[in-house]
Amino acid sequence: MRTGRTAGLIRVTGWICRSFRAHQAAGKRRAVPASSRTYSSTGIDIPPRGKLPDKPARTRFAPSPTGNLHLGSIRTALFNYLLARATKGQFLLRIEDTDAKRTVPGAEEQLYKDLRWAGLEWDEGPVVGGPYGPYRQSERLPLYEQHIDNLLKSGHAYRCFCPSERLDELNRRRHEKGLSLGYDRKCLQGSSAEAEERAHRGDKHVIRFRSPDQWPRYTDLVYGKSGHGAEKAKKLLVDEPVYEDAILMKSDGYPTYHWANVCDDHEMHITHVVRGSEWMASTPLHVALYQSLNWTPPLYAHVPLLVDENRQKLSKRNFDSDIASFRSKGVFPEALVNFAALLGWSHTQKNDVLDLPQLESLFDLRITKGNTIVSFTKLEYLQVRHARRRIQAGGSELEQIVRDLAVAVLNKYGAGQVTAFLGGRPLRDVLASMLSVESFKYRSASDFADQCSLFFEPPTTTPNTFESAGIDISLIHPLRVAASAVCLVPGSEWTEAVHLSQLQALELPLDDTVDAPKWKKELYHYLRWALLGGHRGPTIAKTLEILGRNASVQRVQAANLKAQEMEVASSKPKIQTEGFKGDVDGKRRIEKNWKGYSL
């Protein structure tokens, strides 16, 4: 047993009268019954709600390898990780694998992958090692046996040989009376020597904790003073009291969760435990176990439950909250970590979009007490914002997005259609240009590939879409000429910057038959109809760059033919074209810049 974490007075917290404070200041201490004490964890003052401890925190994440991590578990791991990083402490990983029947093959390795994918590297634990290993509970059985022997010797634990049939009958009787379950301590009636002799003979039994008359209370870093402190004896019959004497060691020699958890946290010098509020009911038992061994318990911070929009607890079996599901959908690790951090924790920043280093610098224990509703709309928002960050930053993260998008685009549109659209251009460059469009929202590669249908699929240029675009049909002829002039730019100069310059030159009408603002509006409406079927998208200059010269010319020519048919079929008066110099002057103006080239 390590002595560094033992002993000493455990600080009493809560309200203290002025006279008592005066006695304390004078160095006088009043004895307080152990069963009614409220424990802090480390013998230091508990910081006000929300404030970080003054000393480095040692925290841990202790999952069982019984399946994939889910949203609630990644949040627990994250809060423990952030508390350690924010205080320059240590974050430990411990595998609680004593329930062999529920262990899933490969789950432990997947757990490592998911944590590292999220960026939550542990300082001590499996794979990386550390001074307080081993870090798998199945490899720590001698330690639990050593401490249970001390508990048996002190009388805080006892061996129970009651067969399951007797316990079932006891529980049935309580159930019929509408009472909670418990144990009547029948096995405490014999001597400890007799119990040891039976255990030595190999009689099947468990080891129970002898619960105190009152559970100790504790100060939670989120909920404040907690624990009921009520008397533990519950009446079944007038002459048959029962007690909540928890089993610490099972008949197979393996510890229960409660016993292994307490022993490991003590031996690994854990100072702070952040876990779900569903464990608050067990915390008085854990603190009582620490007290019975004269150990100092860690500080506890219980975080709110995660519930769905119907305010039902988010199920671990819900695949939508499985980390593997998020990964398969293309969710970025920084988006998921950002999302998980905001589930119950509040900050003072104006912007919710935070990466892991920012969370490490901002984290405190400002955690809400109420249940937290999980809205995946928020995750989608964060995914889009973090995608924009990646795209703007460039580098390897952008290249990974481009690679994922390339696979999605080829799967959706086929190699032949994509190759024809590219017209000899590199797919990587075209996709990077699409990703740079601010109006496009990257949620996943497949979703973005769907948005790219504007470019990879021919536009619908029909009278209906023409009418929806709000184009003045009386200006079809000069608009056709202007659109053709745009296409005079050669492929070697087919860039957004060049098109911006050429479009600015065409924004002014070539004669006084239409005012400038109206002409500019009609020009861009017509080009959007011709290039994208009237759909919203990037600017016209950017659209031309993304489409490339081949696709742009084909679309403009096809749209001009449709527009000409509508012009002929229209019963509306046609614009007087005699004297209109658009046919000649428009082309001459462009050809002056691109001498020797014609459409």
Statement: residue 1 has pLDDT above 90:
no
Amino acid at 567: E
* 8-state DSSP, 251: T
Domain definitions of the chain by residue range: 18-141+257-304, 150-214+230-249, 394-456, 463-593
Distance, CA of 480 to CA of 267 (rounded, Å): 81
Q: Which fold has domain 18-141+257-304?
A: Rossmann fold (3.40.50)
Distance, CA of 287 to CA of 36 (rounded, Å): 12
Amino acid at 520: K
Predicted structure pTM score = 0.83
Tokens 């469009």 locate to 437
Q: Where are the beta strands (DSSP E) in 394-458?
A: none
Pairing of β 372-373 and β 306-307: parallel
C-alpha distances in Å from residue 585, one per residue of 240, 406, 481, 524: 108, 42, 10, 19
255 φ/ψ sector (left φ>0, alpha ψ -120 to 50, else beta): beta
572 or 110, higher pLDDT: 110
| Mean pLDDT, residues 246-274 taken together | 96
Phi, psi of 377 (to 5 degrees): -60, -35
Tokens 């046919």 locate to 583
Token output for 182: 């418990």
Q: What local confidence, expressed as pLDDT, does residue 181 receive? A: 83
H-helix or E-strand spanning residue 303: strand 299-303
Pairing of β 157-160 and β 206-209: antiparallel
Q: What local confidence, expressed as pLDDT, does residue 20 receive? A: 36
Question: Out of 8-12, 244-248, 356-360, 546-550, which region has the weakest mean confidence (pLDDT)?
Answer: 8-12
527 φ/ψ sector (left φ>0, alpha ψ -120 to 50, else beta): alpha
Question: Out of 59-68, 320-329, 550-559, 575-584, which region has the weakest mean confidence (pLDDT)?
Answer: 575-584
Residue 260, SS3?
helix
Q: Which of 234, 250, 316, 412 is catalytic?
A: 316
Q: Kindly indicate the confidence band of residue 11, based on its pLDDT and cuts at 50, 70 and 90.
A: very low
Q: Kindly indicate the confidence band of residue 472, based on its pLDDT and cuts at 50, 70 and 90.
A: confident
**Most confident stretch, 20-34, 213-227, 290-304, 461-475:** 290-304
Q: What local confidence, expressed as pLDDT, does residue 235 receive? A: 53
Distance, CA of 138 to CA of 95 (rounded, Å): 9
Q: What percent of the chain has pLDDT over 90?
A: 67
Say if residues 418 and 410 touch (Cβ distance below 8 Å): yes
Statement: residue 140 has pLDDT above 70:
yes
Would you state the CATH architecture of domain 150-214+230-249? Answer: Alpha-Beta Complex (3.90)
Say if residues 121 and 80 touch (Cβ distance below 8 Å): no
H-helix or E-strand spanning residue 249: strand 247-249
C-alpha distances in Å from residue 50, one per residue of 46, 85, 89, 369, 587: 11, 16, 18, 12, 70
Statement: residue 103 has pLDDT above 90:
no
Per the annotation, the verdict on 316 as an active-site residue is: yes
Q: Nearest CA to 340 among 366, 378, 313, 310?
A: 378
466 or 84, higher pLDDT: 84
Say if residues 279 and 303 touch (Cβ distance below 8 Å): no
Q: Quickly list H helices, 90-180.
A: 107-117, 141-153, 164-176
Question: Out of 113-122, 224-233, 325-334, 346-355, which region has the weakest mean confidence (pLDDT)?
Answer: 224-233
**SS3 per residue for 319-366:** HHHEHHHHHHCCCCHHHHHHHHHCCCECCCCCCCCCCHHHHHHHCCCC
Q: Kindly indicate the confidence band of residue 268, based on its pLDDT and cuts at 50, 70 and 90.
A: very high
pLDDT tens by residue, 526-545: 999 999 999 999 999 999 99
Distance, CA of 402 to CA of 379 (rounded, Å): 21
For 499, half-sphere exposure in the C-beta direction (CA atoms, 13 angstrom radius) is 23
H-helix or E-strand spanning residue 454: helix 453-456
| Mean pLDDT, residues 489-504 taken together | 93
Statement: residue 596 has pLDDT above 70:
no
C-alpha distances in Å from residue 401, one per residue of 330, 392, 405, 435, 560: 10, 12, 6, 9, 37
Q: Kindly indicate the confidence band of residue 180, based on its pLDDT and cuts at 50, 70 and 90.
A: confident
- Work out the mean pLDDT of the chain and round it to a whole number: 86
Q: Where are the beta strands (DSSP E) in 406-518?
A: none
Statement: residue 362 has pLDDT above 50:
yes
| Mean pLDDT, residues 119-127 taken together | 98
Question: Out of 152-161, 485-494, 583-592, which region has the weakest mean confidence (pLDDT)?
Answer: 583-592
Residues with Cβ < 8 Å from 571, sequence gap 6 or more? none
Say if residues 58 and 238 touch (Cβ distance below 8 Å): no
308 or 144, higher pLDDT: 144
155 φ/ψ sector (left φ>0, alpha ψ -120 to 50, else beta): left
C-alpha distances in Å from residue 327, one per residue of 40, 173, 443: 39, 50, 12
